[in-house]
Chain A
Amino acid sequence: MSAPPDDAGILAADTRPFSAVYARNARAVIWRGFRVIRSQNWIVLVSGFFEPVFYLLSMGVGLGSLVGEVEGPGGTPISYAAYIAPALLAVSAMNGAIYDSTWNVYFKMHFGKLYQGMLYTSLGPLDIAMGEIFMALFRGLLYAVGFTGVMGIMGLITTPWALLLVPASVMVAFGFASFGMAVTSYMKTFQQMDLITFVMLPIFLFSATFYPLSVYPEPIQWVVQAFPLWHGVELMRQISIGAFTPATWIHVGYYAAMILVGVAFTTRRLRSLFLR
């Protein structure tokens, strides 16, 4: 809490950086998040876990029985299920992060009025954004642990390197979440929000998720390689069998840059997002 006012009711100005939008209290928003989880039905929490699992069962096991073995990173032959499982984890990290940072934020802003209440306290918009992104990443972490476990049970994991799927998944989620809020700050209506779904669907389908990049003609390959999801998919695929190349660092660097730019972008847009 800030210093009390003097006898005349005058406060001394807080001159630390970001004092207009940041009160160094994102943990209160996180504390609320856990409080809600505790009082919530567990079904709500685990529903997000099943999305990639269902994809894995239908595409990996079902479709995979037609496809047979494919060539994994580094030329190792692997089952189709093992080929798409890490990609599905990257997709699930992306979808979860995008949902939490766009629709969820939009809804809490305009209908739940949750942020309206928070903003009338000594929280600043940056506290709220950081707290909400943290909660989104925490959920992403739970799902990643769960899905990696499922991969293990299905015999799709053959190397201890695969444990890195979990932090990599959180990193992918952070990349998307950091941009999502900034994008939401431009959205005024439901129709505009639908644009997000419209953009995300092709990214999901065409980022070499279900087949290798090499099926595309070269110009299209360049486009796909610009997509953030492609870097996530490639990185996760490499991790899942422990086959790293110099490109691994490019994928990690891509996300590091995406997170930095996204956080800066969201911070700039906070006033437009919360203080209209």
Chain B
Amino acid sequence: MISAENLVKRYGGFAAVDGISFEVAAGESFGLLGPNGAGKSTTMRMIGGVTQRTSGRLTIMGLDPERQGPEVRAHLGVVPQQDNLDEELRVRDNLIVYGRYFGLPLAYLRQRADELLAFAQLEEKAAAKVDSLSGGMKRRLTIARSLVNEPRILLLDEPTTGLDPQARHILWDRLFRLKEQGVTLVVTTHYMDEAEQLCDRIIVVDKGRIMAEGSPAALIREHSSREVLEVRFGAERNAAVVRRLEDVGERIEALPDRLLVYTDDGERSLERIRASGLHPLTSLVRRASLEDVFLRLTGRSLVD
């Protein structure tokens, strides 16, 4: 469905996207994971054909979005990072007017708008003003709006950033249903749990380049141990203790507020730390996540 080869986007001397290549198959759920400023949104905008690339080859369903923008976007649904609902129109009109932009007939849109309001659980808000909606509702409306043309490909740029946990889970549930219906999803996120929940395959992006590619599970297997033991000794002591823990796990990552011990058995590692006479203030054993993969690959955290 999507084929990108050596995509580059420069703003002046700064390369926001610096040679990214990937393929997305029909029905696949594909993620771009990386910190803010990694070039994820720019890549999305190039796929939508609303930012002109500096160089590289890009085809969406066989067409270049820069040369056939309107035609490509007829089959695309886009959820941008910031909601850009039409504040001058009411909730239901937002869906209908957006559908008109695709040249869809009004009779179809009236029915489609009601379906989408139900999908987004916004039926009671149909006649409300957009700015009276909560953040979660606006997000759901933006997603509903992106589906008005029954897209083959749905681009979601940071779909749940800024939402509370409950709203996120409602959203993920809705996206999961779309995936079941065979819609190809392209998601950017800096939340590892989101990438793990939604994506079959991800690329880890940093500073405009691809650092790694694979399924979430494979990436974790490849770049991290099975479990992670997090221990805190207090801000001053963390760094001093690192050397004494060297043989406890496969690898240790010292963050300003805590130490991460990569190990296949967190509980055993913790026992060994205690046996050596060290007593962490707090400790936590968890499964390794994409956050650890990112830390391993870049030496930095995803969320600053």
Interface residues of A (CB under 8 A from B): 1-2, 5, 9-11, 13-14, 19-23, 25, 28-29, 31-32, 35-36, 39-40, 112-114, 116-124, 127, 271, 274-276
13 of the cross-chain contacts (CB-CB < 8 Å) are A2-B70, A2-B74, A13-B71, A14-B70, A28-B100, A31-B100, A32-B100, A35-B97, A39-B88, A39-B93, A113-B82, A121-B149, A122-B74
Cβ–Cβ contact A32 & B103, under 8 A: no
Q: How many A-B residue pairs have CB under 8 A?
A: 120
Known contacts A113-B82, A117-B86, A122-B73, A20 near B101 by CB under 8 Å: no
Query: Interface readout for B57-94 with A: 1 if CB under 8 Å, 0 if not?
Result: 00001110011111111111010101011111110010
Binding site for A on B (CB under 8 A): 1, 26, 48-52, 61-63, 66-76, 78, 80, 82, 84-90, 93, 97-98, 100-104, 149, 152
Determine chain B's interface SS by DSSP, over half rule. loop
Contact present for B63 and A11 (CB under 8 Å): yes
A123-B84 contact in complex given A5-B75, A21-B69, A275-B51, C-beta closer than 8 Å = no
Extra pairs beyond A22-B70, A124-B69, A275-B50 (17, CB < 8 Å): A1-B74, A5-B61, A10-B62, A11-B71, A13-B67, A13-B68, A19-B70, A19-B71, A21-B70, A28-B100, A39-B89, A117-B80, A120-B73, A121-B149, A122-B101, A122-B149, A274-B50
With A11-B63, A19-B71, A121-B149 as given contacts, are A31 and B97 in contact (CB-CB < 8 Å)? yes
Q: Which of A2, A120, A124 has the most CB of B within 10 A?
A: A120
Instruction: Please judge, given known A-B contacts A28-B103, A31-B100, A36-B89, whether A13 and B63 are in contact too, CB under 8 Å.
Output: yes
B89 touches A32 (CB 8 A): yes
CA distance A1 to B101 in the complex (A): 10
A113→B83 CA distance, assembly (Å): 9
Output the nearest chain B residue to A18 by Cβ-Cβ distance.
B70
A14 vs B65: C-alpha distance when bound (angstroms): 12
Q: Kindly provide the distance from the CB of B109 to the nearest chain A CB, expressed in whole angstroms.
A: 11
Identity of the chain B residue whose Cβ is nearest the Cβ of A271 in the assembled complex: B52
Residue of B nearest to A3 (CB): B71
- Shortest CB-to-CB span from A128 to chain B, Å, is 9
The listed residue (A20, A32, A114) touching B69 by CB distance below 8 A is A20
Cα distance A40–B51 in the bound complex, in angstroms: 33
User: How many Å from the CB of A32 to the closest CB on chain B?
Assistant: 5
* Shortest distance between the CB of B113 and any CB in chain A (Å): 13
CB distance from A124 to the nearest CB of B (A): 5
Contact call B89/A276, Cβ cutoff below 8 A: no
Which B residues touch A275, using CB under 8 A? 49-52
- Name which residue of chain A comes closest to B48, CB basis: A120
User: In the complex, are the beta carbons of B66 and A40 less than 8 A apart?
Assistant: no
Known: A39-B90, A123-B70, A275-B52. A116 touches B61 (CB 8 A): no
Residue of A nearest to B83 (CB): A113
CA–CA, A13 and B64, complex, Å: 9
B100/A9 in contact, CB under 8 A: no
